[in-house]
Chain A
């Protein structure tokens, strides 16, 4: 699917300067969206179905720059340490991670841990992009 097709499909708009004709591949391996990474895992999965309006796995400052999880699958938030939760995408399903500045990442069937990025401050802190 192209970026503009994903915008139509989920009824949301990403930043205007992003290439509307960019093909967004379905990936089942490791992929990253800014400071959020999607890691294939052997975890059991489970959780609640992703609602039609999506789930904010990271909510940006001022309500903007949110990493929004959409599409097919189940989401089990964990909220401990770097881990944000576990995503399960069913056979022949595709989940989508959307962000205004980074566009879209499509996630194929499988179980994934979604994690945040950290940095070494005086105390280890989460990265805000």
Chain B
């Protein structure tokens, strides 16, 4: 894909030979056991596939191939090794929170049943979901992953299917937890919304480490 030999302007003029842009001076023409450095770079770029036995059997060429792979790996490690990098200051994080606080995401308005007022009463879907998460997270060994309300939630009495996806802690029985989640979700929805919940599905998609459980 990155073969310079397909670079038409050069390929036409100097077949089979690499010429870099003038000024970069990248190719010094030095041969490593008969291979140009460019040739070895191409091989590394291609992930050493297809296997070139001529390169693989030359100790000098192979040393260069491994060296090239190592500088690639070192670059990624230098970036990935976040532990060695200074953490940003609290102010820095606060500034980002400031930016994000302007990015309000509100949900749909869920209508509430009431007899007195002429004005419609509603509760914000995002607030309900946030509260659901907090309640479900409060159950030992359970972490909320997602909540879904499917149906015309903005129309009173429209059938709504609710799905709550959870992660449970490793090594803990799942059944009692899904039962608790079901009870808590039902309680929250019936107390704080007038959704006509026709089905409530609790799904476990994930297991998480139990670290942090029980000592909040």
Tell me if chain B binds chain A: no
Residues of A in contact with B (beta carbons under 8 Å apart): none
Residues of B in contact with A (beta carbons under 8 Å apart): none
